[in-house]
Chain A
Amino acid sequence: MKCEVCKRETPNRYCELHENAYGNIMQKFEVWKDAAGMSWEQYLNEIVENQFTGIWAKEVAQHLLKNKE
C-alpha cells in the first residue's frame, strides 16, 4: 500500500509522517470548532492557508479537501 499523499510504501492509509500530521488535524478540529465555530471544510481551508501550519499537515489537509472527506 502507498501513502495517499506522498506515495511512500506504508501498511496504512498514510505514511508515518503524514499519519502524524493527520492525527494533529483531527485532534485540533474540536478546538477550532469550539473557538471559532467552524465547519470541517472551513477548518481545512483555514489550516491550508495558515502560515504556521506545517508542510505535512498542509498536504494532508489539501488531500482531504480534494477528496471531500
Chain B
Amino acid sequence: MEKYTLIITEKPNAAQRIAQALDHKGKPKRVEEKNVSYFLAKRDKLLVVVSALGHLYTVMHIGKGRNYYPVFNFKWAPRYLAERGAKHIRAWIEVVSKLAKNAEEFIDACDYDIEGSLIGYCLLKYACGNKENVAKRMKFSTLTKKELEKAYSEPLPELDFALIEAGKTRHEVDWLYGVNVSRALTLAAKRWSGRYATLSTGRVQGPTLNFLIDRERSIRSFVPVPYWNVRAAVYVEGTAYEVEYEKKTFEKRVDADAVVKACKGKAGKIEKIEKRSTKQKPPIPFDLGALQTEAYGLFGCTPRRTSHIAERLYLGALISYPRTSSQKLPSAIGYRAILKGLNKERAYKRLASGLLKIGELKPREGVKEDPAHPAVYPTGNVPERALDESERRIWDLVVRRFMAVFGEPAVKQSMRVTINVNGHRFYLRGRRILKEGWMKFYKPYVRTEELALPPLNEGETVQLGEMLREDKFTKPPPRFNPSSLLKKMEEVGIGTKATRADIIETLHSRKYITEERIVVTDLGFDIIDVLHRYCQGVISVELTRELEEKMQRIQTNSEKRENVLFEVVEGLKPMLEELKQREAVIGEALSNAIKRSRMQERIVGDCPTCHTGKLMILYSRKTRKRFIGCTNYFKNVCQTSFPLPQRGTVKPLHRPCKGCGWPTLIVKMRGRRPWTLCFNDSCPKKEERRKRLEMRSLQKRNPE
C-alpha cells in the first residue's frame, strides 16, 4: 500500500463522517480488520481514517494486587490491562499500531477538548510509537463537510500540549483519590464483615454527596410553621377573577380571620389601575449545562441522557460540539448559511426566512467563553435519517434557541387593579404579551401565562364573591433533582461539563442516593460520616475547587503537572494513614450501613394486615424459595405472606398499586418486558383483568 496520512478520530461515527467529507467522491472505502473498521479516503493523497473508542489508555497502578493502599505509583497503560471487560480494546490498539507503520503523516482529529486531546495524544504516543510530536491537529466544532475540509486543509501545526497536560493531570489526580480512598473504604468493610461490597468515592463524588447530605439533613429535621393567607374572587361582567390580599401572608390565624370577617359579601371600589410594560430580552445561546437544564425542565430528560442525545446529533452533523461552556456565537460560524439550511426544513421555513430578511444579524450572547468551541448551535444540515422522538426534541430545542437569540425583545404588559373593600385592599392582576419578539421562535418552550382582564375603570364598583382563609405551612427546602444538582455543581465549580452528569449516575449506581428527586440513602449518610471524621479533604468543596483551578492553570501553562500531583499525594498521605489506623471502627460502621442498605432494599412497604410491620422479601430456609412476609412474623404477631415469582429479579417499586393501594414490585425476566406486580389477590385491577380475559376468550369461542 502507498504511503498515507493517518487521521485519528475519537469515535467510529466521527471517522466515517470525516472520511466522507474528505473523500473526493464522498464515498470512502470501509475496511474491517479484527472487527475494527477504518476508512480509506482519496483526496490529494490517500487518507486512512481510524477511530479510537473513547479512551483506549488509562492510568494504572504499577504493581500487583488490589488489596492494599496507599498506592501512588502509576503509569499510562492500555485499558485492557487495567480494566475487566475491556478486552476488545486490544484488537483496536493493534489495528491502529499496524496502520501507523505505513503512515507518513499523522493528524489528530479527535474532539477539541481536554478528553479528546488526551485520547488522540495517547494513541499517537503509545499505539503509533511516539508520533505525538510530529502530528498535526484538526480543529472543528461541527462535523459538516465545509468545516471538516477547512480543518483538514488548515490544521494546527502541533497538538495542544497544555490541554493534554491538563487532561493527564485530571485523570491522574482522579485516579490517586479514587483508587486510594475507595480501596480504604472497601477494604475496611471487607476486613470487618468478610463480605465484599464496592464502596467508592472520588474527588468530585465526595463533595457532591456532601452537599446532598446537607440538604437531606435540613429536610429530615424540618419543622414547618403555619401561616395564613386570604383569597377572594371578584365578579366582573359575570366572570369570577381571583384577587389577592395586599398582605401576602398572616403570621396569626386571628388576623386572617379578621380580614375575612370584615370583607365577606361586601362590594369593592376600584381605586387605582396601574399598567407597566417590560421588555424581555432574548435568551442566550446554550452551553451544555443550560441545554441539560432546559431539556430536564421541558421533557424530563436527565442531564446524562441529554448529553448522549446531543452527542449523537453532533455525530450526525446536525448540531455543533455540545461539550462546551461557551455562551457565545461568533459570526464566523456563518449565521446566514445556517438559517438558509434550516429554511429547507418545513417546520422552520417561515421563521428562518423571517430572520434572513433582517439586515444585520446580531445574537444575544452570555458572558461565558470557551476557547475551544462556541455555544451549541444547529449546523443548518437537515437530518439524513429519521430522528427518534428524543433526538427530534433536542434538535428542535437547539434550532429554536439558535433562532430566538437573534429575535427582538418581547414586550409584556402587566396590570394591577387595586380594589378597596371596607378599607382593605385587594389586587387583581393581569398580564399579556404586547409584542412576541423572540418568543415566536421559541414558542413551544416559552413558559408564560397570559391572563387577560376585562375593561375596567377607576371608581367602578365590583362585587366580591367567595372569600376564604387558607391554612398554609412553610415547606422544607426542595430536594435536588439531576438538573438542579448539576447546576449546583457548576455553581460551586466542581467537576467538568463532561463528567458532572456521570458523577450523579455513579452516586445512584453505588446506592448512595435514590429516586429522581434525590433522597440520600443510609449508606450515603454513613459514607459521608466516615469521610467527615477521618478524611475531610475528600469531601471539601473548597479543596476540590482549588484543585480544579490549579488544573485549569495547567491548561494555560501557568501551573505544572508535577507540582499538582505532588500536592495531591502529600495531602492524601495523612488522610490514608488516619483511615488505616481506624480501619476497624470504619469497617464496622460501613458494614452495618451496607447491611442496613441491603435490608432496606428488600422492604416492600407497610403490611396491609397488621399495619405495624413491614412487608419484606424473604427466603425460606427450607426451600430457599423467595416470598413476601411481614416482619412481625418473628414476633408472632402477623402471619401475612405472599408467594413471589421464583425466576428473574424482583424489586420493590415504592409506589402503591393504583387499584388497591397495596405496595407493588417490579419483576424483570430475561426476554420479557418488566411488569408491575400487585400481590393482593382481591385487587380490583386484577378482577378487571380477569373479566377482560374471560370476555376475550368467550369472544374467541363465539365470534358472532
Contact = CB atoms under 8 A, between A and B. Distances in A.
Interface of A: 17, 20-21, 24-25, 27-28, 31-32, 34-36, 47, 50, 52-57
B126 interface: no
B220 A57 contact: yes
A54 B222 contact: yes
A63 to B, nearest CB: 14
Nearest to A19: B221
A54 B227 contact: no
A56 B224 contact: no
A32 to B, nearest CB: 7
B221 A24 contact: yes
Interface string B198-226: 00000000000000000001111111111
Interface string B235-271: 0000000000000000111000000000000000000
Contacts of B252: 34-36
Nearest to A29: B223
14 contacts: A17-B221, A21-B220, A21-B221, A28-B224, A31-B225, A32-B226, A34-B251, A35-B252, A36-B226, A50-B224, A53-B224, A54-B221, A54-B222, A56-B221
A49 B619 CA distance: 35
A13 to B, nearest CB: 16
Contact of A52 (B218, B251, B253, B476): B476
A50 B221 contact: no
B279 to A, nearest CB: 38
Say what secondary structure dominates the interface of chain B.
loop
Given A35-B227, A52-B473, A52-B476, A57 B222 contact: yes
Given A50-B473, A52-B474, A52-B476, A35 B221 contact: no
A35 B253 CA distance: 6
A24 B222 contact: yes
Given A35-B252, A52-B473, A52-B475, A57 B223 contact: yes
Nearest to B471: A36
B225 A35 contact: yes
Interface of B: 217-227, 251-253, 473-476
A53 B473 CA distance: 10
A60 to B, nearest CB: 9
A57 B474 contact: no
Contacts of B219: 54
A55 B216 CA distance: 10
> What are the 10 tightest A-B residue pairs by CB atom distance, in nearest-first order?
A54-B222, A21-B221, A54-B220, A52-B224, A24-B223, A28-B223, A56-B220, A20-B221, A31-B225, A57-B223
Contacts of A24: 221-223
A62 to B, nearest CB: 13
Contacts of A50: 224, 473
Interface centre among B220, B223, B225, B476 (most CB of A within 10 A): B223
Most central of A21, A36, A54 by chain B CB within 10 Å: A54
A55 to B, nearest CB: 5
B225 A32 contact: yes
B221 A57 contact: yes
B223 A53 contact: yes
B308 to A, nearest CB: 35
A31 B218 CA distance: 19
A68 B276 CA distance: 57
A59 to B, nearest CB: 9
Nearest to B222: A54
B223 A54 contact: yes
A47 B220 contact: no
The winner among B217, B220, B225 for most chain A CB atoms within 10 A is B220
A17 B217 CA distance: 8
Contacts of B218: 54
A49 to B, nearest CB: 11
Contacts of B476: 52, 54
A47 B217 contact: no
B223 A25 contact: yes
Contacts of B473: 50, 52
Contacts of B474: 52
B611 to A, nearest CB: 16
Contacts of A56: 220-221
Contacts of B224: 28, 47, 50, 52-53
A36 B253 contact: yes
B431 to A, nearest CB: 30
Contact of A53 (B222, B227, B253): B222
Given A53-B223, A54-B218, 19 more contacts: A17-B217, A20-B217, A20-B221, A21-B221, A24-B223, A28-B223, A35-B225, A35-B251, A35-B253, A36-B226, A50-B224, A52-B222, A52-B474, A52-B475, A53-B222, A54-B223, A56-B220, A56-B221, A57-B222
A56 B500 CA distance: 30
Contacts of A53: 222-224
Contacts of A21: 220-221, 223
A52 B220 CA distance: 9
A32 B224 CA distance: 9
B280 to A, nearest CB: 34
A57 B225 CA distance: 13
Contacts of B222: 24, 52-54, 57
A68 B476 CA distance: 27
A33 to B, nearest CB: 11
B527 to A, nearest CB: 15
A32 B227 CA distance: 9
A57 B223 CA distance: 7
A57 to B, nearest CB: 5
